[in-house]
């Protein structure tokens, strides 16, 4: 499968080594680009990600948005801690077509010690497919980096 240049398989940097697998492993593959502090997610719409109409399933779109917007919050905060979703609102704007490469873009509108506010979209070659905004709980639970340290 061909993916755009500059994208690599999603790597949580050892932060989830304590798990045998991760949810995104089951629905992906999902890709990332950028370095710490500037990570961005994307994926190519494949058959197993589609609904009976042959377009990307809404659950797939929302799952990638959830993780992608968490990355955006982490980028803004400058650290990676567990940030479970508290609330999300999504609007389906256009179908994600088979073979499209969709990219999560967005911004952190604000964060406090305990709460992060994010907004964004998954965009394909013809523009936004889904838009959304969310609230995430900022915890003090760091991630295992796989070297005995947490971040």
Spans of all domains in the chain: 8-137
* Residue-wise pLDDT tens digits, 80-96: 788 999 999 999 999 99
CATH number of 8-137: 3.10.129.10
The pTM for the full model equals: 0.83
For tokens 């999560």, the residue is 104
* Residue-wise pLDDT tens digits, 1-49: 677 888 888 765 555 454 455 566 667 788 888 876 678 899 999 999 9
């Amino acid at each position: 499968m061909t993916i755009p240049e500059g994208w690599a398989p999603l790597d949580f940097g050892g932060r989830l080594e304590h798990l045998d697998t991760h949810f995104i492993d089951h629905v992906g593959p999902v890709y990332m680009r950028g370095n710490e502090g500037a990570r961005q997610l994307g994926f190519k719409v494949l058959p197993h990600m589609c609904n009976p109409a042959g377009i990307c399933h809404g659950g797939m779109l929302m799952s990638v948005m959830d993780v992608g917007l968490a990355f955006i919050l982490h980028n803004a905060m400058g650290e990676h801690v567990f940030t479970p979703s508290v609330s999300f609102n999504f609007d389906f704007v256009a179908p994600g077509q088979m073979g499209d490469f969709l990219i999560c873009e967005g911004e952190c509108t604000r964060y406090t010690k305990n709460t992060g506010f994010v907004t964004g979209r998954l965009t394909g070659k013809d523009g936004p497919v889904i838009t959304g905004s969310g609230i995430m709980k900022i915890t003090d639970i760091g991630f295992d980096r796989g070297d005995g340290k947490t971040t």
